[in-house]
Structure 1
Amino acid sequence: MKLFIQIPCFNEGATLAVALAALPRQVPGFDAVHWLVIDDGSSDDTVDVARANGVDHIVRHSGNRGLARAFMTGIETALSLGADVIVNTDADNQYNAADIPALTGPIVRGQAEMVIGARPISDIAHFSPVKKSLQKLGSWAVRVASKTTIPDAPSGFRAISRAAASRLMVFNDYTYTLETIIQAGQKNIRTVSVPIRVNEDLRPSRLVKSIPSYIRRSVITIIRIFVIYRPFRFFFTIGMVLFLTGLLIGLRFLWKYLTGDGNGHIQSLILASVLLGMGFQTFLVAFVADILAANRMLLEEIRYKLNVSDQRISPAVWSADTAAAPDAHPDQEKP
């Protein structure tokens, strides 16, 4: 069995060597361990550091496309290179690489297809109270949308089996962490969580540029999660609130009208009519969104079957064990 450890990178030359030095070359249950670096359009010496530290495979984007796209590029590349299990970790050495066997163990034993590392959020000193609260809120939203019990959904330290990885498709450009767990829940991919350790902070988080920005993007991500993966519930709930509010206001007007006190309350009648109409239209949107979600699931199933039957190595991949020199492979985006 082949284990691929992938590291998405964007200008990580200062910390990548530390993260690579901690990675294992042997993991129980695997015949070979490959290191894969995804360079997301770095302008520093990230690629040179990767080559100097013995990285087996490097795939490069010609420009910065975001963490989620880099993650998916790594998944697709690892699958094309024959990976049986893929471990994703960060280039800033946030996660303790010694816990990789704990991540892969449930997959090797056939107990899970995706394993998420659960950080001790409450004990991480460099996490602000606001960030800790948002981490918990995001995890709660994922548990509701995915019907899983993952306590640390934003954790990027995870192991994914080949079958599960072939089914994943990320739509969000900001982060892949929440969306992939929800997809796992929808597609009945067995997902479990294991406790992991974290290392000292080497640099500030790239995702958290500022607390207001992090709050805004986290809220948008959570809303998009429900719109994409629970569209009927999302729109039906909104429609129900609007419809019931309009109904109550309408019943109030009707009561006053029947008791002879209807004069001067025409505004209530207008408001009730508007809310009832909006509620009914939102109900229709809920059914249309549900149909679109069903079509999306069918397209994802087609994509999965195509991936299984036709997985090719991207020409953007440089492998240390190939005869060609690194410069023989052009730096380009994955097709």
Structure 2
Amino acid sequence: MRLVVQIPCLNEEDTLPLVLESIPKEIPGIDDIIVLIVDDGCSDRTVEVARSYGVTEFVHHARNQGLGRSFRDGVVRALELGADIVVNTDGDNQYPQDRITDLVQPIVRGEADIVIADRQVHKVDHFSPLKKQLQKVGSGVVNRAAGTKLPDAASGFRAYSRESLMVLNTITRFSYCMETIIQAGNKNMKIASIPVETNAKTRESRLFKSMPEHIAKSAAAIIRSFMMYRPYVIFAWLTMFFGVLGMIPFVRYAVLMVTDSASGHIQSLLLGSLLMILAFMSLMLGIIADLIRTNRILIEDNLEHTKKARFGKSGTELLRDQTSQPHFDWPREHPGLPTRPVS
């Protein structure tokens, strides 16, 4: 079984040695470990440092493309290398690389498709109380959208099976963490979690400049991912909301016409009509969105078949083919014949 550990990097020459030195060299159930560096537009010596530690596999971006694109490109290269499991970690040494051994075991045993490390945010000293609470709320929202029960949905330290990567398709540039969980949950994949303790903080996050920006981008990624797979839920609620709200002016108009001798009250009819039109539009948009969702499912099925055809055999299958090929020792098996076949 082949494991590829991919490390997205943006100017990590100072911390990358700590990451590379702590990656396990041997893991039970894993026959081959490959380290893959995703150079996301580095302008320092990150690539040279990686080469000095024996890394030979790279994905290069001429300009910074963001974490989401780096993850996607790294996965493509890992699958090309025949990865059976892909572990994603960070170049800033936030995560304990020695726990990769524990991270991949549920996949090795066939018990999970994806394994996500729980950073136990409440124990992280450099997280402010506000950030800890926001992380908890964010994980709760993602779990509601995905139908999962993960304590730390924002953790980037995670392992993916080859089969899960064949069906996951990331589109966001900001961060793939929330998106892949919502996709996996709606595709009925088994997601496991293991607790880890993070390393000391080495630098500030480069994903966002402020907490409001982080909240806005995370919320946008969650809503977009949720609407891809369950748009009818949102539009059904909008239809009910505008429909019920629109009935109130009509009821008011009817009551006033019975109890009030004065004519008029046309405002109630106008407001009620407007709200009912909005309810009807929400219903129509929900139907259209659901048809688009159906079309997306068909496209993703085609993408899955395309990936399997493109990436060929996994590392396990390649190793099996190598060991199953019969060994032909010409001189020993045919001592009376020449040591080399005659053409």
In the TM superposition, residue 108 of structure 1 has moved relative to its aligned partner by 0.7
Distance 1:261 1:69, change over 3 A: farther
Aligned equivalent of 2:65: 65
Structure 1 stretches (4+) deviating beyond 4 angstroms?
261-264
Aligned equivalent of 2:171: 171
Q: Distance in 1 between matches of 2:209 and 2:30?
A: 38
Q: Where does 1:1-335 land on structure 2 (aligned, <5 Å)?
A: 1-260=1-260, 263=263, 265-311=265-311
Distance 1:261 1:164, change over 3 A: farther
Query: Are the equivalent residues in 2 in contact too, given 1:226–1:234 (CA < 8 A)?
Result: no
Q: Distance in 2 between matches of 1:101 and 1:63?
A: 33
Query: Are the equivalent residues in 2 in contact too, given 1:93–1:199 (CA < 8 A)?
Result: yes
Q: Distance in 2 between matches of 1:193 and 1:270?
A: 54
Q: Distance in 1 between matches of 2:65 and 2:246?
A: 45
Extract unaligned runs of 5+ from structure 2. Answer: 313-343
Q: Quick one: higher RCO (CA 8 Å, sep 6+), 1 or 2?
A: 1
Q: Which amino acid aligns with 2:280?
A: F
Q: Distance in 2 between matches of 1:148 and 1:305?
A: 27
Q: Distance in 2 between matches of 1:226 and 1:258?
A: 46
In the TM superposition, residue 92 of structure 1 has moved relative to its aligned partner by 0.7
- Could you say what secondary structure the match of 2:167 adopts? coil
In the TM superposition, residue 170 of structure 1 has moved relative to its aligned partner by 0.5
Deviations 1:244-275 (A, max 9, x none): 11112221222112222664632222111111
Q: Distance in 1 between matches of 2:127 and 2:229?
A: 29
Aligned equivalent of 1:315: none
Q: Which amino acid aligns with 2:297?
A: M
| Max Rg structure | 2
Deviations 1:61-85 (A, max 9, x none): 1221110010011111100101111
Query: Are the equivalent residues in 2 in contact too, given 1:138–1:178 (CA < 8 A)?
Result: no
- Could you say what secondary structure the match of 1:28 adopts? coil
Aligned length: 313
Q: Distance in 1 between matches of 2:229 and 2:90?
A: 27
Q: Distance in 2 between matches of 1:268 and 1:147?
A: 41
Q: Which amino acid aligns with 1:142?
A: V
Query: Are the equivalent residues in 2 in contact too, given 1:134–1:218 (CA < 8 A)?
Result: no
Calculate percent identity across the aligned residue pairs: 44
Q: Distance in 2 between matches of 1:262 and 1:182?
A: 56
Distance 1:262 1:7, change over 3 A: farther
Q: Distance in 1 between matches of 2:83 and 2:211?
A: 37
Query: Are the equivalent residues in 2 in contact too, given 1:94–1:198 (CA < 8 A)?
Result: yes
Question: TM-score scaled by structure 1?
Answer: 0.89
In the TM superposition, residue 219 of structure 1 has moved relative to its aligned partner by 2.3
Q: Which amino acid aligns with 1:304?
A: E
In the TM superposition, residue 11 of structure 1 has moved relative to its aligned partner by 1.8
Q: Distance in 2 between matches of 1:215 and 1:78?
A: 31
Q: Distance in 2 between matches of 1:4 and 1:268?
A: 64
Q: Which amino acid aligns with 2:48?
A: D
Q: Distance in 2 between matches of 1:268 and 1:142?
A: 40
Task: After superposing the two structures, state which structure 1 stretch, 102-111 or 144-153, moved more.
Answer: 144-153
Q: Distance in 2 between matches of 1:226 and 1:251?
A: 35
Q: Distance in 1 between matches of 2:86 and 2:24?
A: 14
Q: Distance in 1 between matches of 2:226 and 2:161?
A: 26
Q: Which amino acid aligns with 2:133?
A: S
